[in-house]
Amino acid sequence: MICRELIDIIDDYLDAVLAPDVTQELERHLAECAPCGAYIATYRQTRRIGAAAARVDMPEEMKARLRRFLAENLGGA
């Protein structure tokens, strides 16, 4: 798995709806990639804060832009 692939499936991972083999591969990547570990921790916290604030879901276009921005700034492949 590469960083960009993780970003594409992060929501499914956090919602625990990935196939077990994909989850294992993602978790192996997280164990070896400090930037992705930091990314997912930040993403997880952001989801918690958003849920606590009872905000409206972020539009899909904005999610995609945010993911691209973070991927570019994390230096992931």
SS (H, E, C) the chain: CCHHHHHHHHHHHHCCCCCHHHHHHHHHHHHHCHHHHHHHHHHHHHHHHHHHCCCCCCCHHHHHHHHHHHHHHHCCC
Q: What domain range includes position 47?
A: 3-74
Domain count, the chain: 1
What's the CATH number where 23 sits? 1.10.10
Q: Binning pLDDT at 50, 70 and 90, where does residue 77 land?
A: very low
List, for residues 4-42, the tens digit of each pLDDT value. 888 889 999 999 999 999 999 999 999 999 999 999 999
The pLDDT of residue 56 is 66
